[in-house]
Structure 1
Amino acid sequence: MVLFGFGKGRIGRYLMRNFTLAALAIATLAGCASAPQEPAVSTYSYESKAHSGTVHVTEKFYTSEAIQCAGKWREGEVYTPKGIIPMGHDHLDIGIDLKSDGQPDTAVTLSIPLALGGRVYTKDLQEYKSFMLGTETNGIVQQGDHFTYPEGYFIRVSQPGVKGWDFVSCIGIDHMYVLKADLESSTNPPVYLDRVVVPFSMEQSDQPVKVSFGSQIQHTAELRVAPNK
């Protein structure tokens, strides 16, 4: 076994400091091995035909060397279970913990068939909201503008699989909402849609992958996976 020291004095302290910083950098990189790489963010707006309001979208796209998620993978064929759903080692349990500023935490576990392929597994956690805005009372009749939209999370998963020691999949999380202040001050408040795409990859023993996204409200998502038992 080879032993070495840094000695005393200014040179020794300098070498010790740089050795420590290098060790910390290596440890940090090792701890983030399964984390997605630096994301790209895009924004756009559209007039909704399905509900009220103009939707303002902020999308964050992470990338990973372990799995490639095509640009339009979320538009693939929606997976519809048929007959008796087989359980066992042909499924992955994907756990997702969601936190948003000023809103209750959301936790969900999805059992995803490994044979899903490019089809899209969906989980709708949204709830339709309906408001009468800009109301006026004419005698006993109250009039106003009817405003509706789906509020909450919508999750998509595709391309689940096992690559080497890693479990992989494409995970998309949407969160739609309207700010309370806008509902109280406008008859046509903006609808916000925050989206994130995560090319998920982790070993069974790894720590959960954590990502953040959002615009008017900030969200964090903690993702983990394990074989279905």
Structure 2
Amino acid sequence: MQKITFTALAAALLGGCASAPPEPNISSYTYDSKAHSGTVVVTEKHYSSDALACEPKWREGEVYQPTGLPPMGRDTFKVSVEIEADREGDDGYNFNRYSLDVPQGLGSRVLARDFQRQKTFMLGTESNGLVQQGELFEFPEGFYLRVSRTAVQGSDFVACIGIDHMYVLDSDLQSSVNPPVYLDRVVIPFAMGLEDQPVKVSFGNKIQHTAEIRVLPK
């Protein structure tokens, strides 16, 4: 079977090519969080590749804890992720750039980086003299990145890469005491040589994201 590269896949997705490979799998669900306020609305996009399979629960693997001196050269990848976000229903446009040093040969272990910040709001406030009362609403806003299954296969750099973005719309914060918390997720089974990079993917719900990903030797 012919290997489907992400370059072709991304071009088909963004350009609407009629001969495109099958669309990535998109799923959605909700859950009530026990760790923070609100009901979480999850939208997950999962790309596929003949060269690498990222199992459904790969993100739940043992968290990688570096020890000793960091590896150098082709023993280490530099994963660069640039994310553009267009906020539907909100004012503003966001651009984020992240760089991770990831060892080769992680296996099922997961290198995780949390770029979220805790946000706290008092919603539906009412003033009673000098006392202001309302509903406390808090959640972690921002990006969370995961990398696993790193390896070199021939001339390709291989890795499972996951991007999560959690957010609440400004308009929802202003109109509700229990606004939905959105969690947009994407999984990329990255298998690319230097000449095919960067890889572009898209994902999102109320915020539409475009991510450019590069995996290079350090």
Q: TM-score range by the shorter chain?
A: 0.7 to 0.9
Identity of aligned residues (%): 59
Which of 107, 116, 126 matches 1:126?
Answer: 116
Task: Label 1:98 to 1:163 Cα distance change in 2 as closer, same or farther (>3 A).
Answer: same
Q: C-alpha distance in 1, partners of 2:106/2:187?
A: 18
Instruction: Give the structure with higher Rg (CA).
Output: 1
How many equivalent pairs are there? 200
Is the contact made by 1:173 and 1:196 (CA closer than 8 Å) also made in structure 2?
yes
TM-score (structure 2 length as normaliser): 0.87
> Which residue in the other structure is 2:7 paired with?
32
Partner of 1:4: none
CA distance in structure 1 between the aligned counterparts of 2:157 and 2:42, rounded to whole angstroms:
30
- How far residue 87 of structure 1 moved from its aligned partner, in angstroms, is 2.8
Name the amino acid aligned to 2:200.
K
Given candidates 94, 101, 107, the residue that maps to 1:111 is: 101
Q: Is 1:191 the equivalent of 2:176?
A: no
| Other-structure match for 2:45 | 60
Q: Which runs of 5+ in 2 are unaligned?
A: 11-20, 87-91
Query: How far apart, in 1, do the equivalents of 2:9 and 2:28 lie?
Result: 27
Question: Which letter does structure 2 place at the counterpart of 1:53?
Answer: G
Q: Alpha-carbon deviations, 1:103-156, whole Å to 9, x = none?
A: 321111111000311100011111110000011111101111100001111000
Cα contact 1:37–1:64 (8 A) shared by 2: no
Looking at structure 2, the residues matched to 220 and 50 of structure 1 have their Cα atoms a distance apart, in angstroms, of 28
Deviation at 1:201, TM superposition (A): 1.3
| Local SS of the residue matching 2:196 | coil
Which deviates the most, 145-154 or 84-93?
84-93
Q: 1:52, 1:99 → 2: CA distance?
A: 26
1:62-106 alpha-carbon deviations (Å, 9 max, x no partner):
000011101100011111112332333210111110110133211
Superposition CA RMSD, Å: 1.8
